[in-house]
Amino acid sequence: QVQLVESGGGLVQAGGSLRLSCATSGRAFRFYTMGWFRQASGKEREFVAADTWKGNTYYTDSVKGRFTISGDSGKNTVYLQINMLKPEDTAVYYCAADSTYSSGDFYFDDITRYDYWGQGTQVTVSS
C-alpha cells in the first residue's frame, strides 16, 4: 500500500520560510517523478515543483528562486523548502508521485500523470 504523508505546513508571516516534507512508503524503489502541487481556496490545483528520476528539477515561474525541491532517498522523503513566502503562496500543498516510466521529463507538470497523492498540508502566509 503506497502512502504519501505531508507535514511541515503552518502559519507564517510574509517573508518567512517553511520546509514541507513528504514521507513515502509502500514502494521498494523511488518513483519516476515526485511533485508538489498546491490548491488555493476557490482555485484549481496547480503545479509547483518536480524532481524527476533523471535528476532534474522543475518549478513553476512564480516560485523560481524561492522554492527548492529535494529528496532523501535513504529516508524515502521529498522536501519542499519555501523561502520568501508571499500571501499568494497561501494554499494546501500536496505531494504527488508518478509511478509510470517515461524516457524523458515530459509530464512533470501534468496533474493527470500523478497516480499517488498525499492528504495535503496547509500553508497560510499573513501579510
Tens digits of residue pLDDT in 4-59: 999 999 999 999 999 999 999 888 777 889 999 999 999 999 999 999 988 999 99
Instruction: Provide the pLDDT confidence category of residue 121 given band limits of 50, 70 and 90.
Output: very high
Task: Give pLDDT tens digits for 41-53.
Answer: 999 999 999 999 8
Task: Give pLDDT tens digits for 60-83.
Answer: 999 999 999 998 877 788 999 999
**pLDDT at position 97, please?**
95
Residue 67 burial (CB count, 10 A): 21
Distances (CA, A) of 52 to 14, 28, 43, 49, 64: 30, 17, 26, 10, 17
